[in-house]
Amino acid sequence: MAKEFKGRVICKGSYTGECVVSKQGFNTLATFQKSALKNAKKIIGSDQNNPDVYGKNLTGVALILPQTIGSTTGGLVIQTICQMGINPSALLFSEEIDSLAASGVILAKNWENSNIIAIDKLGSDILQEIKTGDIISISEDGVVKLVD
């Protein structure tokens, strides 16, 4: 049986595909800003302090993380990459979503018509059970499953 995790839906949607897992706090500004400022076609993780995401393609994948950390511009950075169409498909939080990330995904969903998915309170086990490169499925009711 596939391992599954149930969380609280912030922005609903469904997805099946690859994921990237960050086991530490995720700095949105440090990770996304470089690609956004270059007007790049995809986000390549640029936070050298986070080896889990550094140098990895983050566009179109499900990003699994505990919480975002860093600057108060975090929400604006999320909204901006969604406006540019280079965002991750999903932000999946093991903990409760922080207010900055929540503002970014909600503004992106409502102002930019972004299809970004956000689910929180998935539990710390998700960071141990799912690995970068695994294929997962996300359903609109907040269930995340590891695809066998």
The residues spanned by each domain of the chain are 4-146
Between CA 21 and CA 138 the distance in angstroms is 15
**Mean predicted confidence (pLDDT) in 127-143:** 97
64-107 pLDDT, tens digit each: 999 999 888 999 999 999 999 999 999 999 999 999 999 999 99
Residue percentage of the chain with pLDDT more than 90: 95
The phi-psi region of residue 38 (left if phi > 0; otherwise alpha if psi is between -120 and 50; otherwise beta) is alpha
Q: Is the pLDDT of residue 1 over 70?
A: no
For the chain, the average pLDDT equals: 96
Helix (H) or strand (E) holding 77: helix 74-84
pTM metric for this prediction: 0.96
In this prediction, residue 70 carries a pLDDT of 85
What is the architecture, at CATH level 2, of domain 4-146? 3-Layer(bba) Sandwich (3.50)
Q: Is the pLDDT of residue 30 over 60?
A: yes
Q: Is the pLDDT of residue 2 over 80?
A: no
In this prediction, residue 120 carries a pLDDT of 98
User: Could you tell me whether strands 62-65 and 15-21 are parallel, antiparallel, or unpaired per DSSP bridges?
Assistant: parallel
109-133 pLDDT, tens digit each: 999 999 999 999 999 999 999 999 9
- Is residue 86 helix, strand or coil? coil
- Is residue 49 helix, strand or coil? coil
